[in-house]
Structure formats: structure tokens, C-alpha cells
Chain A
Amino acid sequence: MATKQAVSMKLNGKVADVVVEPRELLIHTLREKLGTTGPHIGCETSHCGACTVDLDGMSVKSCTVLTVQCQNSEVLTIEGFEQGGVLHVLQECFSEQHGLQCGYCTPGMITRAYRLLKENPNPTEEEIRYWMAGNLCRCTGYQNIVKAVQFAAKKLATKAA
């Protein structure tokens, strides 16, 4: 049994303290210890992107990050998007544009799209497809996901203007 370590991070703006074995993966801490079950476990092999969270300004697959690596980190999951009962623009657009069917990949998709639009507020369709390529969806065929991200980019630009 390895020595457990105390890890303190900021999760969706609030301090979250946990004590974990070094081998514990971030996705398990989030889902089992911190009650954030939005990020999903799809493949557990860093392929599908369902477990994507935002970690210190990077989209990461939380099945391939150790929780002990997140000491003093800022983590954003899909639970952190809605504010005061109002959906985030990306959530609205995924809903309006039918960017989901079963919804399993959606938290990862939206979390990834959030960082993409932070880095490139006005992406082309090709750029969206390239920079969203780490998230798999088995229902939609991606068309409406791309549309949802495009709509969100437009709405966010109008909001900022």
C-alpha cells in the first residue's frame, strides 16, 4: 500500500480537498469522491474524450491524469458551466443545434469546445474538426456538433461586442 497524499485543487471555482493513493486517476476522484459525475468514463484508454476536463487551461483526458498531479490545479468540469440557473452558451447551442443524441460524449465535447473557443474564438469548420478530434461521438455523425460549436462561437462574439 502506497502512502496516501493530500491534494488540494480548485474544482469549478471551489476548493476541493481529497486524500488519495498516488495511483488514483483524476476521473475516479471527480466521480467517486467529489460527486462530479458529468465527465464520463468511456474507454479508459485516453481515446474517446468522454472524460475530458479543463485542467489549468488545458483540455485533458482525466482517465490519464493522476489526481496527485493536480495539487494546486484549477479544474473545470461540465458542472461548472451553468451559472445561477442559466446555461452556458455552449450548452444552449448544443441543445438548439441537436449536437447530441444519447449525451454520453456531451460533457467532454462541451468542455473541449470551451477551451477551443478560448484559444480560437472564430474557428473555421476545418479547424473545429481538427481541434475537436480527441472527442468521439457514436450517435451524431459530428455534423451537428460542429454546427453547435460554430453557433456558440457566433453567440459568444455577439455577447463580447
Chain B
Amino acid sequence: MIPRPFEYYAPASIPDALGLLKKHGDEAKLLAGGHSLLPMMKLRFAQPGHVIDLGKISELRGIREDGGTIRIGAMTSENDLIWSALLQKKCPLLVEGARQISDPQVRYRGTIGGDICHGDPANDHPALMLALGASFVLRSSAGERVVPADGFFVGMYATGMQADEIMTEIRVPTPPPGTGSCYSKLKRKVGDFATAAAAVTLTMKGETVSQVAIALTNVGPTPLKARAAEDALRGKPLTDENIGNAARLAMSICDPSPDQRGSTEYKTAMAGEMTQRALRTAGSRALR
């Protein structure tokens, strides 16, 4: 279980990393926490000739709030998300999500940016990003662009990121006070990917839902935004009937591949169940 030979670089700055990326083009892979890429390299599914480690670039790490936006460096580890006082207070959904990713050792190394850029629909941050309405900062030697999470995930291991770009930051609009959120994830055991999971954020006006976002993990080639389910809930009370209806609408967009975690039907049913649980919990956490 040893990767094929490659050249290794540990640039100290983003411009240096971009220079290396430009020079080596398609032959190069960016290394973040290494807990997706290195396993793929060990299995020889990935065989980059050049590995550019972003681990020494300190400006890619950290969490701060700036004028209603939470800005998270792409190389911030899952463990740092979990212990962030800012996130615990203002964006607990990310903390709840990160706590359910893999295991402690992996969370010390694994990064939010790596999880997103890998483009694996089984990863948890993509759905969390959709539910939070996040956007991503992508930098190349030509400049910088900011793209919304919604639309970024285009297929299995395929994202809107270009080969000469580095994700530098994740921007999350600070959820308005009173927002309720929940990440409900079914997994067979610690360290496994989700059989199905649902991320929900919502705000209530009295007993009716005023804003709601629902996103699903690992039940399609990309994370899925359950738009019809959202539309059906907006302006309605969170009754059992409305929650059940939203879950059915969420299930209708699922198309999971059968594997050792279950059949298409089972996974779809579990996506519905996770949607119901996340809606109920988020509803109970939202201020009226």
C-alpha cells in the first residue's frame, strides 16, 4: 500500500503554490489533509507525478467573522471547526457536521477545503455548504473568483474548480439569530461514510417556516439540494404531515447506487428519514 513515486513540494505561500500548479499542470495534485488523496494514491486510483502540499501555508488556516460572513481558511482542520468558539456560537451546524466526520485522528488532519474540493458525494461538507448557502474563494495566478456552493458540485469527483486553481477560503453567511439547524447522518459505524444524511437550516416566524434549506449527502452523484421539499415547507407549519411530505419530495430526487451500505430503495428511504429527523430537530432548535 505504497503510492507510485512522485515529486513532493511544500510551498510556504499561495503564490508559490500557484506557480508550482501552473508549472506541473495536469500532472500535479494539491495535498490538503491527505485523508482522501493519500488513500487513493495508496490504492493507485490516483497517480500524480507531483504533489503540492498546502500544509505549510498558514494563511490558509483560521476562522473569523467579517461583516456578517464567517470566513474559514480552506486548510482549517475538522478538529479546529469542532473547537471553534465562533462556530459553536454562530454556526453550530458546522460543528455538528464536523463531529460526525470519520474519527478523531482523521479530524486532526482532514480539512474543510479538502473535503469540499474532493467532489465526493459521500463527503459531508458539500451538503452542509448547500444548506448554509456558502460560497468558495478560488484563486489562480490570473486572479480570484468567488463561486456559490450551489452549482459547484457537478458530478462524481467533479467540481467547478479549474486545474490551475486553489480553494483558499469558504464563506458562510452568518445564520440569522434564531436559526435552527441540524445535520442528521446515518452511518454503519464510526469512520464510515453516510448511508444517507440530511443537512437542514431553517427560521420560523411564529409557527410557520419562513426560510428553509435542505441538502442531502451520498444519495446521488453529487450532494443534492432538495428544492421542491424546501418550497413545499416555506410558509407552512412544521406539522408531521408537512414534514412527511417534504421528506417524500426529498426522496424523489435521490438516486443512490446500491453498495455494501444498502440498496437504492433502502438508502432513499433513509434519506427521507434523515430529512424528517433533521427538520424536526432544526425546528426544535429554531427560536419562535
Is there a chain B Cβ closer than 8 Å to A49's Cβ?
Answer: yes
Identity of the chain B residue whose Cβ is nearest the Cβ of A132 in the assembled complex: B104
Is there a chain B Cβ closer than 8 Å to A65's Cβ?
Answer: yes
Contact status A134-B104, CB under 8 Å: yes
A108 CB to nearest chain B CB (Å)? 9
Is there a chain B Cβ closer than 8 Å to A11's Cβ?
Answer: no
Contact status B106-A134, CB under 8 Å: yes
A3 to B4, CA, bound (A): 13
Contact status B35-A64, CB under 8 Å: yes
Instruction: Enumerate B6-38 residues with CB–CB distance to A below 8 Å.
Output: 6-8, 10, 34-35, 38
Q: What chain A residues lie within 8 Å of B2 (beta carbons)?
A: 23-25, 28
Contact status B109-A23, CB under 8 Å: no
Contact status B104-A47, CB under 8 Å: no
Is there a chain B Cβ closer than 8 Å to A22's Cβ?
Answer: yes
Instruction: Enumerate A123-146 residues with CB–CB distance to B below 8 Å.
Output: 131-134
Instruction: Enumerate A1-57 residues with CB–CB distance to B below 8 Å.
Output: 1-3, 5, 21-25, 28, 44-47, 49, 52
Contact status A134-B190, CB under 8 Å: yes
Identity of the chain A residue whose Cβ is nearest the Cβ of B8 in the assembled complex: A22
Contact status A58-B10, CB under 8 Å: no
Is there a chain A Cβ closer than 8 Å to B148's Cβ?
Answer: no
Contact status A64-B38, CB under 8 Å: yes
A131 to B99, CA, bound (A): 10
Contact status B51-A22, CB under 8 Å: yes
Choose among B10, B34, B105 the residue with the greatest number of A CB atoms under 10 Å from its CB: B105
B106 CB to nearest chain A CB (Å)? 6
Is there a chain B Cβ closer than 8 Å to A101's Cβ?
Answer: no
Q: What chain A residues lie within 8 Å of B8 (beta carbons)?
A: 2, 5, 22, 66, 68
Contact status A59-B105, CB under 8 Å: yes
A148 to B6, CA, bound (A): 43
Contact status A23-B39, CB under 8 Å: no
Can you give 14 A-B contacts (C-beta < 8 A)? A2-B5, A22-B8, A23-B2, A23-B4, A23-B5, A25-B2, A59-B104, A59-B108, A64-B38, A66-B53, A68-B10, A68-B53, A69-B53, A134-B190
Which A residues lie at the B interface, using CB under 8 A? 1-3, 5, 21-25, 28, 44-47, 49, 52, 58-61, 63-66, 68-69, 71, 112, 116, 131-134
